[in-house]
Amino acid sequence: MKKAIVFIVVILILVFLIIYVNHKIRLHREAELFTPLGQLVEVDGHLMSVYTEGSGETTLVFLSGGGTCSPILDFRSLYSLLSDTYRIAVVEKFGYGFSDIVDKSRDIDSILEDTRAALTAAGLEAPYVLCPHSMSGLEALYWAQKYPDEVSAIIGLDMAVPQYYEDMKINKPMMRAAGMAAKIGITRLIPGIAESDAIKYGTLTEEEKEIYKAVFYRRTATASMLNEMDVVKENAKKVGSLGVPQVPILLFLSDGSGGTGFEKDTWRQTAVGYVSQAERGSYVELDCPHYVHDYEYGKIAAEIEGFLTAQ
């Protein structure tokens, strides 16, 4: 029995070693694909990625949802339809995209100040129209609460509101296991895992799809992402305690599928209840999953233009 256990342990170690070595070799081969698409700016002694295009007077700042490995490419199908009219900026937080992985606190103040500093370093100036997806809704709302003069409007791409996190169950051990699996390279063994909604349903070129995959294998369940999830409930509580910011808010609402963890009615009713407290709040219901900008980018772009024209 002891010999059998030792044999199994040795085999497992060898298997994991082979997987890890293969992962490192693949990372080396993919290195050319991992070339920043935007500019890298220094924030708090580390590098953050900021992508810009377009030259309009109004700046739309896109903020990604939790765990979205490549924000620049994830939003591309949508902002490419808007950059002829508006200036586009995509901020990749620490641990995302081409930004450094930094193991530090991800409380809401730290996240917001990093984003503001990155935009300033990239040569952009407020006020901004914030376009957050999912968890970044908390950052956008807090931004409007703390610095109201810097936010002219919020356009939520199925963004989170504080109330979602009151009863949300977050499996931290599972997330940390996912992080370890990504570091070892086990994720490469799972068919289709790198095929994001942006790849399957968006308008990315074949080259951009390959870049997305290369980013995925470097930026999945990073330390920065895991630290965000450790404090997201506290962040939501803080944002919720400050009330609904009184700036124009337009929410695009999904059917709740694709990773929200909520039933359709609950997902939508919670968001509608929140935005109804804003003086200039409105919403658009979409029949698609959570990453709405990868499915209904044409409709969303048209609605955004109409919304901003009316302001």
Of the listed ranges 128-137, 185-194, 213-222, 271-280, the least confidently predicted one is 185-194
Q: CA-CA distance, 51 to 161, in Å (whole number)? A: 26
Q: CA-CA distance, 184 to 13, in Å (whole number)? A: 12
Which pLDDT belongs to residue 275? Answer: 96
Q: 């804003």: which residue's tokens?
A: 278
Cβ atoms of 70 and 212 closer than 8 Å = yes
Of the listed ranges 5-9, 17-21, 89-93, 216-220, the least confidently predicted one is 5-9
Cα–Cα separations (whole angstroms), residue 243 to 144, 146, 222, 251, 277:
11, 11, 31, 17, 9
Q: For 135-155, what is the mean pLDDT?
A: 98
Q: 């109804």: which residue's tokens?
A: 276
Nearest to 213 by CA among 229, 203, 200, 224: 200
**254 band by pLDDT with thresholds 50, 70 and 90:** very high
Which tokens hold the place of 165?
A: 């996190």
Q: For 167-196, what is the mean pLDDT?
A: 87
Q: Say whether pLDDT at 128 is over 90.
A: yes
Q: CA-CA distance, 83 to 86, in Å (whole number)? A: 5
Q: CA-CA distance, 138 to 109, in Å (whole number)? A: 11
Mean of all residue pLDDT scores within the chain: 94
Q: CA-CA distance, 274 to 157, in Å (whole number)? A: 15
Q: Say whether pLDDT at 209 is over 90.
A: yes
Q: Say whether pLDDT at 259 is over 90.
A: no
**153 band by pLDDT with thresholds 50, 70 and 90:** very high
**41 band by pLDDT with thresholds 50, 70 and 90:** very high
Of the listed ranges 21-25, 178-182, 223-227, the least confidently predicted one is 178-182
Cβ atoms of 298 and 81 closer than 8 Å = yes
Radius of gyration of the chain (CA): 20
**6 band by pLDDT with thresholds 50, 70 and 90:** confident
Cβ atoms of 20 and 185 closer than 8 Å = yes
Per-residue model confidence as pLDDT tens digits over 45-88? 999 999 999 988 999 999 999 999 999 999 999 999 999 999 99
Query: Taking the alpha carbons of 191, 195, 201, 204 in that order, is the dihedral positive or negative?
Result: negative
Which pLDDT belongs to residue 2? Answer: 82
Which pLDDT belongs to residue 190? Answer: 87
Q: Please confirm whether the linkage preceding 148 is cis (ω < 30° from 0).
A: no
Which pLDDT belongs to residue 174? Answer: 84
Q: Say whether pLDDT at 237 is over 90.
A: yes
Q: CA-CA distance, 232 to 234, in Å (whole number)? A: 5
Which pLDDT belongs to residue 171? Answer: 82
User: 154-188: b or e for each residue (b if 16 or more CB lie within 10 Å)?
Assistant: bbbbbbbbbebbeeeeeeeeeeeebbebbeebbbb
Q: CA-CA distance, 78 to 263, in Å (whole number)? A: 26
3-state SS, residue 158: coil
Which pLDDT belongs to residue 61? Answer: 98
Angle at 121 between CA 117 and CA 122, to 5 degrees: 120
Q: CA-CA distance, 266 to 272, in Å (whole number)? A: 10
DSSP string, 271-303: HHHHHTTSTTEEEEE-SS-S-GGGTSHHHHHHH
